Structure 1
């Protein structure tokens, strides 16, 4: 996670409710006094000198220009703003009132109340709409855990050697050799990724995350302390209520006059993570499958992903942003970009007459490019999180997404509407927005009705035997004799294997003795003329005879016979000799090895398109032959969906793409099985099964269990139709979740 730095430009905007014409005279008449606990430090960014204001009370830092500094220093409470501005004739009246209101809103000055004859520190303006937006936004949540400064002070003497040049040389050695080891075993490294998302791997992911994030933030703090900084607070950041990272408020790094020192503070977290990744890569390369190997692999993955996607990404206000900002010598790059976005909004969306923000000529294209790129990235992240929230937490996810949507979309519109009421350009803005709305509506209508698109749909598939019969045991017992082997051709009623169950034979003998006993009692009752007792014995005798017949059927089922002619397919059949099997255990398959078919697993969202394609040709892409494809006919789509796994090869358990979850209810046999047994898992959501008939001219080197992907093009539809279909599917999914 990155350092959080609170910087604001000295020329903060005046509240919308106060016009420039009104604000300037009001600001000139104010009497302001700087807080005594503020400290000012002279700094230089490139050729631009500036002053840093440190607000130790709230842990904030602000940068101002030399002219603004000269003006602010005159605010001693003895003279008015109009008198103080005499030392800064370069400042215009609008700039003066902006600076004054910025000082007041930032609580950097006391304001003189002439009526009560007292100095008071004004509270920041309470924006109710903004406050509600913060409460409703559950996408990002920070949980502060206090200041770790005292703990870091104790730790620094023992870790200072980690922050110098000798350790950097060691860092290069470890990271370089770690990268070499991963590249040397890259196939093994990629293959290990198939187990990363398995349910039983979640614990090791959590342990790896805790180790990495604690060391990452500790590195930020130690480097900041090395240069004399103070760590105000640290905590945990939640995204969708999931602890996704940590943060450490190292604002004090802005006191550092050297940008290289500030960059050192910013890069320290990634520096530590990559060193951990190098050590973990060494451990992973030198160990076999096990706990240590799992943990080290997870650490390598977490450090790589978090560094590339988050910490090193300059479009997010994490480590990469602050490094880029210092490299470019633009300390307020993000805020400058925000000013440019606001200008574009005011000028081209609202139609206002407004002066564009001014920067140095060499900085202007960089700021504009960064502003647009960060805006796009921010909305990609927000939309992605809204979609993720909608799919998580079942029904609660919809509520979370709705609350966040209101926070980032609805409430800003309400806030804009409220500020527009007192806006002097209200009429021009409303006219421009009306024309813009009309144009966008017409363009959207044309786009939704006239633009057509044909989607390319895919589904994972596996080759399997056509009309195959899976032979299962009908009774529990020990396999005592196997009459066939893989590849044997058998006829109907041929004996395949025999089981032994001594308990069944004993139960049969016990029932036979009970039948004899009841028969004697029946005959005795008849001899004694006790007809009612005889009738009772007859009923008990019939029940015992029924049980005896069932037991004989069970004993007969200990001999498994072929129900159809075919070829034996059971590579591990001999390993079952002497093994005790439960009822229903799969022992072999009867099939024609030359008669194959392709079975595909289809998500519910694409089922309508696949059903419309029944009887038509689809394209088959074999994973074992990526450069060759062939065509086949989609013969049938099952009418009902199921969460039962079609074939283990399609799931992440065997390196496939379909995610799975443990079954909610398992039998004792399942719970005692191996963790990676596919019988213990099911799809995350119900899926449909489609059968693709293979012709005789298909490639000859196809084997059962081989995976593939099928491709088909959906009929062209307008964007409006696709949007409507998406809405219908979404509503159906909500209804299915509700039931």
Structure 2
């Protein structure tokens, strides 16, 4: 009777009695309602039925039959292995050629990334269909799928279950992965040897990412219901693997927590049921991680267009599918008449108490907490010497490490334009003085001439003020020590492309003799004067962690090149105002960890998110740590519960504020 009821609900049998029309209509409405709820709860992957591709695949197969030949399979495997070997052997070069995270996922690359995703998925699905044809199967459904807001194709090859060989079925499931990895291997070589920054180079990089990383994370992973899942299902010869694993988990939980005695189900695996239960838990957790990551990416994408509300709506829909739908199914489970009476009260109350205790511990038990901040080593209490007036470096009077006194000359700059302007203004002053003298002599005889005196006097005063300002600027071309101490070099500046410079560029530090004659712009740090044994770590703290960090908190510092050394310290000072200019070496374009955006007018790099600076004093009597050294600091903050950490992560990621 239960079996017949299942067939009737599935539409496989129809009773020949009165009232069936009402039942069929009710079944149709229920199916539509479930489809609509499924689309709302799974906005990241929506399918639309399309056409029957059988005739198209029959026409295509003769032209692509050679792909399935043994020699082609061997050649493809050799190509994949060669690409992998290239990346592994030249990994340092490979990593240096890659763009940073924010540059790759920028708005400028988003369109190209979506285009590549759509095209590669079309090739992926045709790989499934043609492989199905190769082994004698049929494919009668191909449609459009909106995958992470990108239109793609999907190919239904469920008829492959009619094939007797499980290895042929697994090969059909793996065909899409095979095609994408082959594309990634080809594009690896094309990207490696093409000109960086060009459209073709960026296109190959996007194909590499979509066809390798995303394939491993999504398609090849058996925890998601994509190719890897169906391959595992084919190899183990267990159809509906996930449903059966979920059923086993629910039966185990019902028996353990509620004391329910599950009826025998001959269709469920009888061996290794613990493995299936663990698989169901792992699949659910991995799905949460993937959905949360995709929602974070989409939210950041919409945030750049000031459309955060769209991202928040998509997050809400995804959370509906992850939390509300399972709770609804749990309610339906208990709504079954007689189900409550089957529950053993001691088991139920014990489970309820354990759950309540776990929730209390999760939300209210404080645990040790720390945050990681990027840092740069700077001189403590040192006096910076900046270039106040742009000019060419004509002379360097000191060397790094040299002791100087207050007011001692450090360097001399020259500015030809400034010298010419001073000469012009001096000539103008003499001209106005001569004119004023002449007018004063004529004013005794002509009253109209006397009326011009105030105007000329005002012009003379203006020109003299300008001359004094320019002379003061010329004096500032002489850089002097602001205090007594040791000359400390600034952070190294990497070489710049000379082809785009009208003025002589420079690299390293301005104190190097090779930079004589180079043009130093206003605001360039020439050097610092201070004590080299007194250093400080300048931390960049994100706004999300600002309220957690306080003065006196303990820190552990790791510096680049000193991996075996840990420096203990404590927070001495936290800036009240936000950071306006990111330290050059900490910015992502220069190998740092602070995402920045460049002002097109000034060229200044500012943090993408609101950040603050904190300072940790460091004593270095042996002089081991050079200025400008990068590193990370672990700051031990106040204790926080796991629930508070989860809420901070969600609220700061998606800007949900109460």
Change (3 A) 1:207 1:640: same
Specify the alignment match of 2:497 in structure 1: none
User: TM-score when scaled to structure 2?
Assistant: 0.79
Specify the alignment match of 1:528 in structure 2: 446
Q: Do structure 1's residue 219 and structure 2's residue 155 form an aligned pair?
A: no
Residue number among 257, 265, 272 corresponding to 2:172 in the alignment? 265
Specify the alignment match of 2:493 in structure 1: none
Residue number among 462, 483, 490 corresponding to 2:376 in the alignment? 462
Specify the alignment match of 2:583 in structure 1: 646
Paired residues for 1:462-611 under 5 Å: 462-477=376-391, 479=392, 481-484=394-397, 486-487=399-400, 489=402, 490-491=404-405, 492-494=407-409, 496-502=411-417, 504-505=421-422, 507-509=424-426, 511-512=428-429, 515-516=432-433, 519-520=436-437, 523=440, 524-525=442-443, 527-529=445-447, 533-565=452-484, 566-567=486-487, 569=489, 571-573=508-510, 574=513, 576-580=515-519, 582-590=521-529, 592-611=531-550
Change (3 A) 1:487 1:295: farther
Residue number among 597, 605, 613 corresponding to 1:662 in the alignment? 597
1:120, 1:298 → 2: CA distance? 48
Change (3 A) 1:340 1:387: farther
Q: Cα offset for 1:455?
A: 1.9
2:242, 2:227 → 1: CA distance? 13
List gaps (5 residues or longer) in structure 1: 1-92, 671-678
Change (3 A) 1:404 1:205: closer
2:31, 2:20 → 1: CA distance? 26
Paired residues for 1:319-468 under 5 Å: 319-344=227-252, 354-358=262-266, 359-362=268-271, 364=273, 367-385=276-294, 393-394=302-303, 395-396=308-309, 397-410=311-324, 413=327, 423-425=337-339, 435=349, 439=353, 442-444=356-358, 447=361, 451-468=365-382
1:180, 1:436 → 2: CA distance? 56
Specify the alignment match of 2:615 in structure 1: 691
Specify the alignment match of 1:613 in structure 2: 552
Contact preservation (8 Å) 1:233, 1:248: yes
User: Secondary structure of 1:198's match?
Assistant: helix
1:357, 1:371 → 2: CA distance? 18
User: Secondary structure of 2:562's match?
Assistant: coil
User: Secondary structure of 2:337's match?
Assistant: coil
Q: Do structure 1's residue 279 and structure 2's residue 186 form an aligned pair?
A: yes
Change (3 A) 1:302 1:115: closer
Contact preservation (8 Å) 1:636, 1:691: yes
Change (3 A) 1:538 1:623: closer
Contact preservation (8 Å) 1:133, 1:408: no
Paired residues for 1:28-427 under 5 Å: 93-102=1-10, 104=11, 108=12, 112=16, 114=18, 124-126=28-30, 130=34, 133-134=37-38, 136-137=40-41, 139-142=43-46, 144=48, 146-147=50-51, 152-193=57-98, 195=100, 197-199=102-104, 202=109, 209=117, 212-226=120-134, 227-230=136-139, 232-239=141-148, 241=149, 243=150, 247-283=154-190, 291=198, 296=204, 299-344=207-252, 354-358=262-266, 359-362=268-271, 364=273, 367-385=276-294, 393-394=302-303, 395-396=308-309, 397-410=311-324, 413=327, 423-425=337-339
1:482, 1:471 → 2: CA distance? 16
1:652, 1:732 → 2: CA distance? 21
2:332, 2:74 → 1: CA distance? 59
Q: Cα offset for 1:332?
A: 1.9
1:284, 1:386 → 2: CA distance? 29
1:117, 1:306 → 2: CA distance? 47
Specify the alignment match of 1:703 in structure 2: 626
1:118, 1:568 → 2: CA distance? 88
Q: Cα offset for 1:236?
A: 4.2
Q: Which segment is superposed worse, 342-351 or 600-609?
A: 342-351
Q: Which segment is superposed worse, 264-273 or 574-583?
A: 574-583
1:733, 1:221 → 2: CA distance? 40
Aligned length: 620
1:185-207 residue CA offsets vs partner (Å, 9 max, x unmatched): 23333444564553579477567
1:453, 1:303 → 2: CA distance? 41
Q: Which segment is superposed worse, 379-388 or 154-163?
A: 379-388
1:579, 1:718 → 2: CA distance? 53
Q: Which segment is superposed worse, 525-534 or 550-559?
A: 525-534
User: Secondary structure of 1:229's match?
Assistant: coil
Contact preservation (8 Å) 2:396, 2:412: yes
1:148-176 residue CA offsets vs partner (Å, 9 max, x unmatched): 65654444322210112111111222222
